[in-house]
Structure 1
């Protein structure tokens, strides 16, 4: 152990940055506390423009050699990182639970295995990435994906490691180098990822991790002239600042932003399935960008749906996320809890009714909440709450359902519950969303494009779309003759 190492649930975590293959401390720190019980986990190095510049320089210097590394070797190292994650799933799971409050059982069984899969998938996809040559008047067109350069990846706190590696893995596979800036509310597993990557043989400077507040380090990263790509997951206001910062250098952006997604429940749906889908929206204490927080239910079944929903949702167990029986853990930070309650109290003051919840519980826990009698143009319907708060509205026709579903500035996702295949096709065709689920929720394949419409984002990542973003696409056109040698 060193002065810069903390122990979280028995796991040693280095609190310094990872820059150029070395641990680097800052003169200032910030306090990292667990949302479970507000206990202090440790003091984390607080980066500034100095660390940002050093990390970008390390990524810039490491780029030529990494970009020139054969695809097979890059894929081998990414697979070795996946192996390292799998060996440490239990450690990663408990550290992330302590750091962001999500369920330990989910981290063990789903999230951390997905982290490993992110690396393995993009390693495999790299090896088959190809575009068939085509001819133009006898000339051959050959499309290639060239590494772009250093990337800045800024990731959120609600699923820290999974969402970080969703960006890190394709960027590294593409031959880019990375500066990862994790959210200051949940930075610990990013530090462990740096250790795992180094142990897997990733060369120094190819992956760098800098910690700190966006207001202090973010602009220095996103405005740096040596940065070739920026990928960000987070809020719309922060995205605007990043886009303005990147504009000076015309740095390409991929932005996965907020959502106010609908769940449309038609009278012909399997009602038990529809209720299950609705209750599932409380996952991760409602801190899921894709969550269908607006329940739109056909009027003829609304009363029965509401009764069954309340019965099932009130049976959810809220408590310590380390307990196997817990269904809903805490919200990430006191400021987030205050924000959630502010939305709810303003809605109640404006005439909304709480079918259930509507108040904080002890500590950083907010009671699962369902609000009715909400106006379409109200704040609670239009703005992202990012907590365990759902609204319920009714509709009487398919056209009204689609109109209500589309009537926000967002367009990240939508969920449809119906027993009519033709209706499903009509409704999904009319919905403005990057992802639509029909009679299911949160089924995600890394081959599929992912991103949002409207103010839910810019661009798509996943499968070849990730390589399209993290690479410079080149088309080489070759004449059919003119060679001096004819071998």
Structure 2
């Protein structure tokens, strides 16, 4: 081991940046803390403008060769990266659980296999990407997807590697080179990804990983004139700052900014299913952008729904995320815990009632909370908490349910529980959301478009939509009989 290597649960992790195919240290560091116990994991290289410039320069230098690499070869390397992920699922899982506090069992069984799938899906999608030629007055139109250039990808802390590779995989498949900036609260698996990609044969400079604070290295990356795409997942205020930086260079943006999604429960719903869907919103300690945090329940079943919900929630086990029996782990950071508690205490002071929870369980853990007696225009209903805090309101008519569901500045997702397919069709057609689930939750297919409306984001990614973003889509029009002098 070297001074730049941490041992995290027996796994060696390099704390330096990965730039141009080599490790680069910064003179300054920042402290990475585990949310499990608040203990220090280690010191991580803290990049600033020089590291940002070096990473973009490396990506720019590597771009021509990678863009010219055949689709088949790019796909082969992406599959090799997926192979590397699968060989290291246990290591990636324990490191990520230590770093961000999400359940170890979830990482092993779902999250890390999904990381490998991200690479495999976009490798395969790349090989079948085509648009049928079409004719215009005898002229042939041919649509193609040209690599756009160096791409800056800024990713969040709630599902660090899965959400990073959701961006990295299509960007690389498209022929772009990448500078990945992971969240400073969960940087470790991005470093391991750099190792895996290098071992898979990804050329130097095609993937670069830089660590640090958004206000330092992030700003330097998003304002760089050589960056041709920026994809960001995070908060609205940060997205507004990024958009301002990108505006000077007209750099295209894809922004996924969280939400305040509703769960609509109608009286004709299967209440057991509705309760199961409702309790699922505590997944990842409530740190899920898609979570349906606002329960809108028809008045006639609200009391019964609440009773069953409380009974079901009481069966959840909160504690160490490394334990198999744990259902809810810690929140990511003391600052986030303070933010969550402040939301709840302000709501209680304003007249809300805590049916369950409403308090911390420990310095790192917030009790699963359900608040009622909340006004539609209240902060707790309108603003994203990003913790295990849910609200419950009632409605009497379908129109009222739709009105309440749409009455926020967000529009990322919505979930609907009903036994009436005609009602489902009517209501989903009126909901403002990028994704709507009917009698299910969190069913995600990578070929589907993903993104949000209003303040939940700009653009869509997934399947062909990802390539539309990461590429310059070109139409070539060829005249008929234009080859008479050929040969």
Q: Same fold (TM over 0.5)?
A: yes
- Please list the CA deviations of residues 430-477 of structure 1 after superposition, one character each: whole Å capped at 9, or x if unmatched: 100000000000000000000000000000000000000000000000
SS at match of 2:404: helix
Q: Give me the whole-angstrom Cα distance separating, in 2, the residues matched to 1:195 and 1:360.
A: 38
SS at match of 2:115: helix
Q: Give me the whole-angstrom Cα distance separating, in 2, the residues matched to 1:44 and 1:470.
A: 30
Q: Give me the whole-angstrom Cα distance separating, in 2, the residues matched to 1:414 and 1:484.
A: 58
**C-alpha displacement of 1:486:** 5.5
SS at match of 1:366: coil
**C-alpha displacement of 1:314:** 1.6
SS at match of 1:190: helix
Q: Give me the whole-angstrom Cα distance separating, in 2, the residues matched to 1:80 and 1:217.
A: 30
TM-score, normalised to structure 1's length? 1.00
- Please list the CA deviations of residues 230-277 of structure 1 after superposition, one character each: whole Å capped at 9, or x if unmatched: 000000000000000000000000000020000000000000000000
Q: Give me the whole-angstrom Cα distance separating, in 2, the residues matched to 1:245 and 1:229.
A: 12
**C-alpha displacement of 1:485:** 4.0
Counterpart of 1:154 in structure 2 is: 154
Structure 1 unaligned spans of 5+: none
1:439 aligned onto 2:439: yes
SS at match of 2:264: strand
**C-alpha displacement of 1:123:** 0.1
Q: Give me the whole-angstrom Cα distance separating, in 2, the residues matched to 1:204 and 1:76.
A: 16
1:53 aligned onto 2:46: no
Q: Give me the whole-angstrom Cα distance separating, in 1, the residues matched to 2:361 and 2:372.
A: 21
- Please list the CA deviations of residues 381-420 of structure 1 after superposition, one character each: whole Å capped at 9, or x if unmatched: 0000000000000000000000000000000000000000
Q: How many residue pairs were aligned?
A: 487
- Please list the CA deviations of residues 154-211 of structure 1 after superposition, one character each: whole Å capped at 9, or x if unmatched: 0000000000000000000000000000000000000000000000000000000000
SS at match of 1:354: strand
1:269 aligned onto 2:280: no
SS at match of 2:329: coil
**C-alpha displacement of 1:292:** 0.1
Q: Give me the whole-angstrom Cα distance separating, in 1, the residues matched to 2:79 and 2:258.
A: 31
**C-alpha displacement of 1:482:** 2.5
Q: Give me the whole-angstrom Cα distance separating, in 2, the residues matched to 1:392 and 1:200.
A: 49
Q: Give me the whole-angstrom Cα distance separating, in 1, the residues matched to 2:352 and 2:422.
A: 35
SS at match of 1:419: coil
**C-alpha displacement of 1:319:** 0.1
SS at match of 2:156: coil
Q: Give me the whole-angstrom Cα distance separating, in 1, the residues matched to 2:338 and 2:178.
A: 34
Q: Give me the whole-angstrom Cα distance separating, in 2, the residues matched to 1:100 and 1:168.
A: 20
- Please list the CA deviations of residues 361-396 of structure 1 after superposition, one character each: whole Å capped at 9, or x if unmatched: 112100000000000000000000000000000000
Q: Give me the whole-angstrom Cα distance separating, in 2, the residues matched to 1:241 and 1:167.
A: 20
SS at match of 1:212: coil
Q: Give me the whole-angstrom Cα distance separating, in 1, the residues matched to 2:391 and 2:92.
A: 34
Q: Give me the whole-angstrom Cα distance separating, in 2, the residues matched to 1:363 and 1:91.
A: 27
Structure 2 unaligned spans of 5+: none
SS at match of 1:296: strand
CA gap of 1:486–1:61, structure 2 versus 1, over 3 A, is closer
TM-score, normalised to structure 2's length? 1.00
- Please list the CA deviations of residues 7-44 of structure 1 after superposition, one character each: whole Å capped at 9, or x if unmatched: 00000000000000000000000000100001111100
SS at match of 1:152: strand
Q: Give me the whole-angstrom Cα distance separating, in 2, the residues matched to 1:293 and 1:162.
A: 22
Q: Pairwise CA RMSD of aligned residues? A: 0.6
Q: Give me the whole-angstrom Cα distance separating, in 1, the residues matched to 2:203 and 2:484.
A: 41
Q: Give me the whole-angstrom Cα distance separating, in 1, the residues matched to 2:483 and 2:297.
A: 68
- Please list the CA deviations of residues 272-300 of structure 1 after superposition, one character each: whole Å capped at 9, or x if unmatched: 00000000000000000000000000000
SS at match of 1:428: helix
SS at match of 2:113: helix
1:333 aligned onto 2:333: yes
Counterpart of 1:215 in structure 2 is: 215
Counterpart of 2:315 in structure 1 is: 315
Q: Give me the whole-angstrom Cα distance separating, in 2, the residues matched to 1:362 and 1:301.
A: 34
SS at match of 1:345: helix
Q: Give me the whole-angstrom Cα distance separating, in 2, the residues matched to 1:261 and 1:368.
A: 17
Q: Give me the whole-angstrom Cα distance separating, in 1, the residues matched to 2:276 and 2:482.
A: 66
- Please list the CA deviations of residues 73-123 of structure 1 after superposition, one character each: whole Å capped at 9, or x if unmatched: 000000000000000000000000000000000000000000000000000
Q: Give me the whole-angstrom Cα distance separating, in 2, the residues matched to 1:391 and 1:464.
A: 36
Counterpart of 1:380 in structure 2 is: 380
Q: Give me the whole-angstrom Cα distance separating, in 2, the residues matched to 1:88 and 1:4.
A: 21
Q: Which structure 1 residue ranges, 4+ long, deviate > 2 Å from structure 2?
A: 484-487
